[in-house]
Structure 1
Amino acid sequence: MLPKLFLLICFLALALQASAGTLLVPADTVSGKIPNKKVALYSAGIGAVYVGGLVVLSQAWYDKNTQTSFHFFNDNAEWKQMDKAGHFWGAFQESKGGVDALKKTGLSEKQAIWLGSLTGILLQTPIELLDGYQESYGASPGDLIANTAGSAAVLAQQLAWREIRIQPKFSFHKTRYAALRPDVLGNSLAERALKDYNGQTYWLSVDVAKFLPEERKYPKWLNLAVGYGAEEMVYNDPDANSQIGIEKFGTPLKPYRQYYLTVDLNLRAIKTRSKVLKTAFYILDIFHLPAPALEYNNRKKLRFHGLYY
């Protein structure tokens, strides 16, 4: 299961990477030589933020759990794989930030792509190792695969196109289900955004303009996106989940998947000379902003949302 502060660590790491990628200038070095000072500065900065995050995570989460010997826990069938989508999203954003930052240090493009793409795996694997010592769960093979897939998706696009054209994004809305089990799905809005999978949606945003000839004059700021979500998930146990629905709503809860089609704003395509705005757009672009959307779910229902987030 995704630790409650895990995504906060992702955001901290991403913010540092985005700042580095925006503010550092290319070094005048011979291609292939490593500019030690800038790489060291980047490594030290990301390391300090990450270690600090691990300390906070350990005190706020792991100290409350009983420790045991290292073991694995297969949670692949839980939460309609929404947590796996979250791991893919987190690793992708971390690796993307790593590549963009390292490209600005003076490393060769090939070095920046390969080393930066490892960032997501390097940041997320220690979390899984810590999970492996928790009695109530353990290290998840599915999480490790999702982390690797997120970093690999960055590497593949960078090697193929030298840029990101298909990016995962995240959005969240409040649901009625979190109140049924606040200890697991969250109390505050911030906790629910991290823990209530019913309100989370993960997107793949396609930079359409990059796939079309320039003469087509397609707006560079307008992407197309497909999304994935799921609802009616309070317990992983089907009987407990069904029963709480009967008790609270008069009808059993039966988890189901949702698929979306929408337009998406490509903030990185907005031209500005401001380094502050560039950094803000870079960070905000990991989120899908509210937009009209068409939903299809596996209850065979088609639904239009005038504004979905």
Structure 2
Amino acid sequence: MAQAPLDTTSVNKKRLVVLGSTFAIGYTAMLVSLNHAWYSNEQRTDFHFFNDNNEWRQMDKAGHFWSAFHESRAGIDMLRWAGVPEKKAILYGGMLGVALQTPIEIFDGFQADYGASVGDMVANTVGSAAVVAQELAWQEIRIMPKYSFHTTRYAGMRPNVLGSNLGEQALKDYNGQTYWLSVNVAAFLKEDSRYPKWLNIAAGYGAQEMLYNDPEANAAAGLRAYRQFYLSPDLNLMHFKGRSKVWNTALYVLSIIKVPAPTLEYNKRDGVKLHPLYF
């Protein structure tokens, strides 16, 4: 009987210890800051579930997908850095997004005004699975979820919910958020293709006029929420990697953000319009 080849990958135990310690500290800090940002002024109750799938035009679900994707992406790459065998790094690291996002649902489950969301948990799982699927299929990320943000007038109208400062607004004001899928077109073409390897094409999703998640409350404020769809060029920042670890790390972190660029928008209210530079 033929024997399976031995796995010669050597796990770096020191790096695993560093990862474990850093994760524990960072995880604790995340929970504390999250509790302060979202829940410090909320009324608490017994744990329960709440169906919010029709709220905020699903912008919150897009945010959960984006967050879980990049947390799992980082988990995989950190385990690779520690020398964990490839498939184990993908499968174990790929679960990090779900592991980090689950406490949010637990926190939500104790809030009187809402509760734990099955829809959020599905979005978290799909986000993590999207990383694992690409790594197993292509051994690389070819379709990268990205985020962009601009301030809106709505946050000032309801700062307790949409944010009272820039940091809170970037997290809470769905009107100013756009979530993208940036496609590395060159990765799907032949190696000798002349298509520029630094040029991605990104499709985006956003929504406007969401002061409240309830349509009747929005209408009473003179608003009617609507969806927005975008198409824009984007930079494949990972194409510009070099020899510097600092430079490569910066590109890795920045790759989660959509680079401002000329953008086509479509929505049912205004039809098609061009933004010379869209954030």
- 1:84 is aligned, of 61, 64, 75, to 61
2:224 — aligned with what? 254
72-81 vs 125-134, which moves further:
125-134
Q: 1:34 to 1:194 in 2, by over 3 A?
A: same
Does the alignment pair 1:217 with 2:194? yes
Does the alignment pair 1:283 with 2:260? no
Q: Deviations over 1:188-218 (max 9, x none)?
A: 2222111111111000000111111111122
Q: 1:214 to 1:51 in 2, by over 3 A?
A: same
* Alpha-carbon distance between aligned partners in 1 of 2:167 and 2:132, rounded to the nearest angstrom: 31
* Alpha-carbon distance between aligned partners in 2 of 1:130 and 1:269, rounded to the nearest angstrom: 39
2:238 — aligned with what? 268
2:74 — aligned with what? 97
Q: Which aligned runs of 4 or more in structure 1 are off by greater than 6 angstroms?
A: none
Q: Deviations over 1:215-235 (max 9, x none)?
A: 112222110000000101111
* Alpha-carbon distance between aligned partners in 2 of 1:59 and 1:204, rounded to the nearest angstrom: 30
1:137 — aligned with what? 114
* Alpha-carbon distance between aligned partners in 2 of 1:170 and 1:60, rounded to the nearest angstrom: 20
* Alpha-carbon distance between aligned partners in 2 of 1:125 and 1:33, rounded to the nearest angstrom: 31
Give the number of aligned pairs. Answer: 274
The one-letter amino acid of 2:246's match is V
1:4 — aligned with what? none
Q: Tell me if structure 2 keeps the 8 A contact 1:175–1:198.
A: yes
* Alpha-carbon distance between aligned partners in 1 of 2:210 and 2:38, rounded to the nearest angstrom: 23
Q: 1:63 to 1:262 in 2, by over 3 A?
A: closer
C-alpha displacement of 1:59: 4.6
* Alpha-carbon distance between aligned partners in 1 of 2:230 and 2:34, rounded to the nearest angstrom: 33
The one-letter amino acid of 1:287's match is I
C-alpha root-mean-square deviation of aligned residues, in Å? 1.7
C-alpha displacement of 1:300: 6.0
Q: Tell me if structure 1 keeps the 8 A contact 2:76–2:94.
A: yes
SS at match of 1:169: strand
The one-letter amino acid of 1:52's match is A
Unaligned runs of 5+ residues in structure 2 are 1-5
TM-score norm. by structure 2 comes to 0.93
The one-letter amino acid of 1:284's match is L
The one-letter amino acid of 2:155's match is A
C-alpha displacement of 1:141: 0.7
Does the alignment pair 1:112 with 2:82? no
SS at match of 1:68: coil
Q: Tell me if structure 1 keeps the 8 A contact 2:210–2:224.
A: yes
1:296 — aligned with what? 266
Q: Tell me if structure 2 keeps the 8 A contact 1:31–1:107.
A: no
* Alpha-carbon distance between aligned partners in 1 of 2:151 and 2:43, rounded to the nearest angstrom: 31
Q: Tell me if structure 1 keeps the 8 A contact 2:184–2:201.
A: yes
Unaligned runs of 5+ residues in structure 1 are 1-28, 246-252
